[in-house]
Structure 1
Amino acid sequence: MDARTAAVSTRSKRPRRHFANPGQFLRLSGKVLPWLLWPGGLLTIVGIVWGAFFAPDDWQQGDMVRIMYVHVPFAWLASAGYFSLAVCSFVSLVWRHPLADLAAVEIGPVGAGFTAVCLATGSLWGKPEWGAWWVWDARLTSVFILFLLYLGHIALVRAFDDPARGYRAGSILAVVGVINLPIIKFSVDWWNTLHQPASIGLTGAPTIASSMLWPLFFSALGFTLLFSGIVVARTRAAIMERRIRSLLNAQVSSVGEERLS
């Protein structure tokens, strides 16, 4: 390998090390975090208040439609969060990215919490509309499986004495479980379910009135920023916790060596 090839190889590897560096992540995330949490909280309040008090009733569901401004964003983030978890797991399995495992571990509890709220609000919405708190509808069942996948990942990464084995087992589960996401998305189209088809799509105009669409948009954007901010904050805390633990272990080792000497 000549000097020019070696220089190119060094430059190609440098960005990966640069962004994988925990210290660099802490510096960048410290600047980004306020722009996730504060705007996210503000947009969420605006969207929920707008939807709860100023958006019109649905001609068929009446006031019960207002739970949509919480349920729909949480349903979207339940799937989007798991997709992010699967991406981090894939990066961990293929490139051994030092931050991918930490990010995946911190996404799991947040995604599970959002999925639980999605199921709870869906149950509250379904009771007056369907006459039951729960039915084994294809969409409900697939989202419940998503919740179990989150719990399975949380349990697996903590089930081994060797953290590396737990990270690998959790990553495999997350990557395999991603097959459930298209089932959630297209279950309404593939099977005769109680859920109505999607009102917002990428290829056509929304079928929901703009007076309901805008507060839903603000609410969804706000919750998305909050989800991201919570994950970033948890990942920062995990990095700092690992650093503190390493320092304490080093101090204990040095004290032990001094006593032996």
Structure 2
Amino acid sequence: MKVKMLAALAVLALAAHQAMIWLYAPIAQSGVVQKIFYMHLPCSWWALVSFFVVFVSSILYLFGRKDVFDRISGAAAELGVLFATMSLVTGSIWARAEWGHWWLWDPKLTTALIMWYVYAGYLVLRSTPMGRDRKALVCAVLGIVAFLDVPLVFFAAKLWGSAHPDGLARKGSGMEVRMWHTVFAGLAAFGFVWGAMLLARIRQLGRKAEMEARLIWDEE
């Protein structure tokens, strides 16, 4: 029921967000292409939230050794990589229009790409043939260590400077009120999507674990 409610809210919120992007938010100085920002930013934020969930649930697994925390970590990591991928893709499209290049080895972009590779490797580890308890333990340790790169992504523009719009915003370039309204609407809309997908995936992983346990029981 919670998943269905969140999914319904996600559909309505995404529709409202699209309307705000194209009908409410003003066109920036850089032109219509700037409107991809309203998709790029929510993807980036919810990717970081996903990896924070991996970090917290990994700590909880180490202390409690409860399988539910391992499933939460796995589901959140999958969503994090998905949203990070969308963030990198939309960011590259925006960069091509703004800078004339699909990619620049900018501190913020580079740390974001490293983060993507780290968590993609985390997912590969989760798919390797290994004992369930041992794999959950190793993944929990990696889930904690991997989070070290997340603050670097968040503060990269402040620490090393950046051509990324986040770095410019920190220097006070400013945004109109209607732009901020659209940003917050996007964060909420993508939040509903994220919540529905996370709960659904955790449920799927739980059922998968039950089926595997039954198969082992039947074989014995």
Partner Cα separation in structure 1 for residue 148 and residue 80 of structure 2: 17
Indicate if the aligned counterparts of 2:38 and 2:183 stay in contact, CA closer than 8 A: yes
Indicate if the aligned counterparts of 2:85 and 2:116 stay in contact, CA closer than 8 A: yes
Kindly state the Cα deviation for residue 35 of structure 1 after the two structures are TM-superposed.
2.6
Name the larger-Rg structure.
Answer: 1
Indicate if the aligned counterparts of 1:77 and 1:111 stay in contact, CA closer than 8 A: yes
Partner Cα separation in structure 1 for residue 166 and residue 131 of structure 2: 45
More off after superposition, 125-134 vs 43-52: 43-52
Give the TM-score, by structure 1 length: 0.78
When residues 248 and 174 of structure 1 are mapped into structure 2, their CA distance, relative to the original with a 3 A threshold, is closer
Kindly state the Cα deviation for residue 123 of structure 1 after the two structures are TM-superposed.
0.2
Q: Match of 1:176?
A: 145
Q: Match of 1:165?
A: 134
Q: Match of 2:69?
A: 100
Q: Decide which of 219, 237, 249 is 2:186's aligned counterpart.
A: 219
Kindly state the Cα deviation for residue 90 of structure 1 after the two structures are TM-superposed.
0.9
Partner Cα separation in structure 2 for residue 174 and residue 69 of structure 1: 29
Q: Decide which of 35, 44, 52 is 1:83's aligned counterpart.
A: 52
Note the 1:14-163 alignment, pairs <5 A: 31-59=1-29, 61-163=30-132
Partner Cα separation in structure 1 for residue 114 and residue 216 of structure 2: 40
**Which 5+ residue runs of structure 1 have no aligned equivalent?**
1-30, 254-261
- Cα-Cα RMSD: 2.1
Kindly state the Cα deviation for residue 161 of structure 1 after the two structures are TM-superposed.
2.2
Equivalent residues, number: 219
Partner Cα separation in structure 1 for residue 137 and residue 217 of structure 2: 26
**Which 5+ residue runs of structure 2 have no aligned equivalent?**
none
When residues 252 and 172 of structure 1 are mapped into structure 2, their CA distance, relative to the original with a 3 A threshold, is closer
Kindly state the Cα deviation for residue 157 of structure 1 after the two structures are TM-superposed.
1.9
Indicate if the aligned counterparts of 1:157 and 1:163 stay in contact, CA closer than 8 A: no
Of all paired residues, the percent bearing the same amino acid is 23
Partner Cα separation in structure 1 for residue 160 and residue 169 of structure 2: 19
Indicate if the aligned counterparts of 2:58 and 2:141 stay in contact, CA closer than 8 A: yes
More off after superposition, 77-86 vs 211-220: 211-220
Higher relative contact order (CA 8 A, sep 6+): 2
For residues 46-94 of structure 1, give each alpha carbon's deviation from its aligned partner in whole angstroms, at most 9, with x where no partner exists. Answer: 11221123321002x1111100111000011111111111111111112
Kindly state the Cα deviation for residue 222 of structure 1 after the two structures are TM-superposed.
1.0
Give the TM-score, by structure 2 length: 0.91
For residues 174-193 of structure 1, give each alpha carbon's deviation from its aligned partner in whole angstroms, at most 9, with x where no partner exists. Answer: 11121112211111111121
